[in-house]
Structure 1
Amino acid sequence: MGGHPRLQRRSGGHRDGSAAGVDFAALSMRREPSPVSDLRSLAGAVKLLWRLRPDVLVYATPKASLLGSIAGRIARVPRVVYELWGLRLETAQGVARRVFAALESTTSRLSTLVIANSVSLADRARSLGVTGGRRVIVLGAGSSHGVDSEFFAPGVEAAALTPETARRLAESDRLTVGFIGRIHPDKGIDTLIDALRILSGRGRKVQLLLVGGEDGAVLDDELGQLRDVVPVHIEGFADDVRGALSAMDLLVLPSRREGFPNVVLEAAAMEIPAVVSDATGCRDSVVHGVTGRIARTGDATSLANEIDVLLEDDELRTKTGRAARENAVRHFSQRDIWALHSRAWRGDIDAVGPTD
C-alpha cells in the first residue's frame, strides 16, 4: 500500500507491475478522510489480505498506512512494516495537529517495524512522541528507494519540455532556477517567490521553471507579481522530469516538511545541484557546501543568499553538481537501497543502519 510514483512512471505504462513480473491487485482508496469510503477500503484490504496471506505487509503515506496497519493486524499478517515518508502533523495546527499525531501513533503502534526514510525524520518522530513505542530505523543514508543513476544521468535523452517553454528558455540568457513537486503550501513556493524577487532586486538575471500539479496552493496573484520582474515558465505535472531537470541550472526545494525528497536525488544524479530548506527530511538530501546549499525554512532572504552563492559562480555550480552526482551514486544506489529494505522486511534488522 502506498507507492513509488516515480518508479511507476518509469515502467512505460505498466502500472500494474506486470513488466517486472509482479502480481498486482487494485485497492480503491481516497486521499482525504472519508469515513464511509475508508471503511470500504479497510474491508477490501482485509479481504485481500485474507486471500493473499502475505508474510509481510508494507505500507506508506498516511491514509494507506493507517488502513494498512489495521487491516494487517485484523488479517494476522506476521510482519507489518510502516515506511514513514513524512509527518503531516508538522505543518498542521490545533485540533488537526492532535488528530494527525494520534493517527501517526496508532499506525506506528500497530506496526511491527517503522522505517523512516531520513535521520531527521526519525529524530522528529521520536521528539514528537508519535512512534507508538516502536523502534524506528533508518536504512543506509536514507530515502525511500534511492535513484537510478543510469536513468537519471547527465546528457540522457528524455521527453522534452513543451515546445513553447523550450523556446522561451532557449531564447533567454537568464539562469534557470527550477522547482519540481506538488504545488502545495507545505512546499514553500511562497518563500521561493519572495527569494526570487530579492534576487531580481539585486540585479541577478534569473527565470523560474515550475513543474508540478496544483495541490492546495493557488498562487496566481503571487506568480503574476513575480512575472513583473522574473520570467516564469509553468509546465504542470510531468511523467518524466528529466527534460525539465536538463533545462535547469539549479533546483530549489524550500519545503516546510519532507520525508526525504527524491527529486533532489534525481537532480543530483543529473549533476544539477540543489538548494533546500533545513526542514525535516530536506536537510538530509544535501551536504551543505558540497552537493548543494541549505537555507533556513521559511526565510526568503536566507534562501536568496544560498541560491545566489551558486548562481554567481559557474565553476562552483558545476563542481557542486558533479559532487552531487558522486554522492548520489555512492550512497543512494537504487539497488542498494532496495536490498536494504528487503533485508529489513525479512527481519534482518541488526545489519541495516542506525536505530534508536
Structure 2
Amino acid sequence: MVTSSVTATTFLGGYLRFLRDAGWEVTLVCSEGPGVVELARASGVLYQPLRMEREPSPLKDARALLKATGLLRRLRPDVLVYATPKAALIGAVAGWLARVPRRNYELWGLRLETSAGFSRRIFASLERLTMRLSSQVIANSASLAQRVSALGLNGGRDVVVLGAGSSHGVDARRYSEDAEMPDLDPGVKALLQRSSAPIVGFVGRLHPDKGVDTLMEALRICAQRSISAQLLVVGAQEGVNVETDIDGPVDIPVHAAGFVQDVRPLLRAMDILVLPSRREGFPNVVLEAGAMKVPAIVSDATGCVDAVIDGVTGLVAPVGDAQALAVALETLLTDADRRESLGAAARAWGEEAFVPAVVWRQHSDCWAGEGGVR
C-alpha cells in the first residue's frame, strides 16, 4: 500500500514482479492514476484503487480508512506492507482493525523533521501511532533509524535496517551512461550548449524541504569567486520556483527542465548532482546518478548522509550551510579528475551494495519472518 500512483509506477515496477515470482500473491493498493493499472497487469499482480489524499484531510482520511478496513477484511492478507506517510497511517490502523497478522511499516522518511510547533506534535503523534500498530518497522537508512530512536517515536522497539539501506536499490543496467535511453530534449540541450561550464544538477521536488535555496546561495558564492558553473533543475514545483522565489540574482545560467518521466538523459548530461535536502529517508536519485558515474554532493541531513561515502563516492556538507556547500562545489567544479574518480567509485558501490533483486529479497524475507508465511 502506497499513497500515490506516481510512487507505485516510479518505484514498484520490478519489485512487484519479483514478489510474484518469489511466490507471493500480491495486491497493490494506491490512489488511481496514470499507468497504475498497466503496471499491475504487466507485473502479474492485482490492483485495488483506494483514494488517499497526500495532505491532511480528516473527512477524506476517515473515508479512506473505512474503505481500507473493508478491503483488508475481504482480502484477508497474511502480510500487509505500507510506505509513504498517509498510506502508512491508514494501513497501520486498518490492518490492526482487520487483524492482519503481520503489518510492516516501510519507513521512508520523517515529515516532522522539517515541521515545528503544533504541526510537529501532530506528525509525531501519528508516527508513534503508526509504529505502535505495526508488527515491524523497517527504515530505509541507518540515520533514519537512529533519528526515530532519538525522537522516541518507536516506543523502545527495534527499528530494522536491511543491508546498506534503500527501499529498492538501483538498476545499474538501466542507469548506465551506455544504456539505451531517449535523447536529451532539444530545447534543454540547446540551453546547456550555450556554456562550456560544468553542469550542476538538482533532481527532485522543488519543495522548501529540498534545500534549493541553500544550493542557489552556494552557487552565488561560487560565481563571486569566479568559479564557472551552470545549473540544471529537474522536478515539479511544490512551493519553490527557482526563477521567482530565490532572493537575489545568481550569476550563472539556470535551466529549469520541469518534471521528467525518464531522468536518465538529464543525469547523463550532469557533471555533479547536488542534494542539499533538509530531510530524506534514503534518496535513491543519488544512487541513480552514481550509477551514471555522476558524483553527488549531499547534506548531512537524515537519509542523505547514507547515500554517499564521503570523499569516496561523493561529498557531504552540513545541512543549510551555503558556505560549506560552495567549498564542496568548488572542489569538484575545478577538478574534472576528482569528479571522474568519485563517479566511478559511486557506480561500483551501487553495483556492490544496492542490487535491486538483493534489496527486494531482503525485504521479502523480512516481511515473511522466521519460517515464512507464504
Distance 1:77 1:146 in 2: 28
Distance 2:177 2:13 in 1: 19
Kindly indicate whether residue 183 of structure 2 is the aligned counterpart of residue 160 of structure 1. Answer: yes
Aligned to 1:105: 128
Whether the 8 Å CA contact 1:161–1:235 is kept in 2: the answer is: no
- The letter of the residue matching 1:230 is I
Distance 1:299 1:224 in 2: 16
Q: Identify if the C-alpha distance between structure 1 residues 300 and 214 changes in structure 2 by more than 3 Å, giving closer, same or farther.
A: same
Aligned to 1:123: 146
Whether the 8 Å CA contact 1:106–1:132 is kept in 2: the answer is: no
Aligned to 1:53: 76
Aligned to 2:323: 301
Structure 1 gaps of 5+ residues are 350-356
Q: CA RMSD in A?
A: 1.8
1:183 to partner: Cα distance: 0.4
From 309, 314, 317, the equivalent of 2:339 is 317
- The letter of the residue matching 1:101 is A
- The letter of the residue matching 2:95 is G
Distance 1:69 1:329 in 2: 34
Aligned to 1:232: 254
Structure-1-length-normalised TM-score: 0.94
- The letter of the residue matching 2:226 is G
Q: Identify if the C-alpha distance between structure 1 residues 253 and 171 changes in structure 2 by more than 3 Å, giving closer, same or farther.
A: same
Aligned to 2:101: 78
- The letter of the residue matching 1:152 is Y
1:7 to partner: Cα distance: 2.9
Aligned to 1:24: 47
Structure 1 runs of 4+ off > 6 angstroms?
9-12
Kindly indicate whether residue 96 of structure 2 is the aligned counterpart of residue 88 of structure 1. Answer: no
What number of residue pairs does the alignment pair up? 348
- The letter of the residue matching 1:250 is I
SS of aligned partner of 2:48: coil
From 82, 89, 92, the equivalent of 1:66 is 89
Distance 1:26 1:221 in 2: 38
Whether the 8 Å CA contact 1:223–1:232 is kept in 2: the answer is: no
Distance 2:309 2:9 in 1: 25
Kindly indicate whether residue 287 of structure 2 is the aligned counterpart of residue 283 of structure 1. Answer: no
1:218 to partner: Cα distance: 4.0
From 311, 328, 347, the equivalent of 2:369 is 347
From 10, 29, 38, the equivalent of 1:6 is 10
Further displaced range: 217-226 or 109-118:
217-226
For residues 196-251 of structure 1, the C-alpha deviation after alignment (integer angstroms, 9 at most, x for no partner) is 00111111110000000111224433558445x11010011111110110110000
| Bigger RCO (CA 8 Å, 6+ sep) | 1
SS of aligned partner of 1:235: strand
Percent of pairs with identical residues: 53
- The letter of the residue matching 1:274 is A
Distance 2:243 2:197 in 1: 23
SS of aligned partner of 2:205: coil
- The letter of the residue matching 1:6 is T
- The letter of the residue matching 2:324 is S
1:158 to partner: Cα distance: 1.9
Whether the 8 Å CA contact 2:96–2:133 is kept in 1: the answer is: yes
Structure 2 gaps of 5+ residues are 18-33
For residues 98-129 of structure 1, the C-alpha deviation after alignment (integer angstroms, 9 at most, x for no partner) is 11111100000000000000000000000000
1:348 to partner: Cα distance: 3.8
Q: How does 1:181-196 map to 2 (within 5 A)?
A: 181-196=204-219
